[in-house]
Amino acid sequence: MLAWAVSVQAHEGDGMVGGFGAGFLHPLLGLDHVVAMVAVGLWGAFLGMPALWLLPVVFPMVMAVGGALGVAGVPLPHVETGIALSAIALGGVVAFAVRPPIWVAAVLVGVFAIFHGHAHGTELPSAANPIAYSLGFVIATGLLHLSGIAFGFLTHWRQGMVVVRGLGAVIAAIGFGFLFHLL
């Protein structure tokens, strides 16, 4: 991240680096995106292998499909509601320590990824450099997942488990805040 930031500062806000910077910042500037992405990583770490790698792999790939729908102008109803629900659901499963079969976890994460991808995709056509923009927002999304995974490793300790589940509850609460337009 630091290395890319140096490149961003070396250029003005257009071209590849400018597009990358704009795309990179996009997921980071929306709290609803941020908490849902962190929750994906938290849940992956909480569930352990193979969810640890499967969920952060499924999310960007399905998000890309949602993004393609957004780019193509295919309407998806209630995108913002879907994003808020993703925070509620993903935060909730962490808070309540839900351990479904791995395919259920992958499907749940994949469904919500479509909403997040659609939101990004609708903004993509106006980007100065679409490839760099998409690379930026995909990497930022992935780094948020990795942040969640890093926090999720706290579950190796008993007190850490409490902290992680508490974080899940906070994420779900933020989701409710967005759902009812309190945030």
Partner 1 sequence: MKTLLKSALVAAAMLASAGAWAHGAAPGLGNFVGGFIHPLAEPAQVVALVALALLVGQQTFRRAEPAVWSLGLATAIGVAAAALSARWAGWGGTDALLLVFAGLTGVLVAVARPLPVPVYVGLAFMIGIGSGLESSPEGLRGGARIGFMAGALVGTLAWLGDAGLLVQACHRAWGKVVVRVVGSWMTACSVIVLALQLKR
Question: Does 18 interact with partner 1 (rule: CB under 8 A)?
Answer: no
The token duo for 130 is 């679409």
Pick from 128, 139, 161, 169: which binds partner 1 (CB under 8 A)?
139
Please, which residues have CB within 8 angstroms of residue 172's CB and are 6 or more apart in sequence?
A: 87, 88, 89, 91, 92, 95
From the CB of 12, what's the least distance to partner 1, in Å?
11
Which residue is associated with the tokens 């009812």?
180
The token duo for 61 is 């790939």
Pick from 76, 97, 98, 124: which binds partner 1 (CB under 8 A)?
124
CB 52 within 8 A of CB 102: no
**Site residues (vs partner 1, CB under 8 A):** 2-4, 6-8, 10-11, 16-17, 19, 52-53, 56-58, 60-61, 63-65, 67-68, 71-73, 117, 120-121, 124-125, 129-132, 134-135, 138-139, 142, 145-146
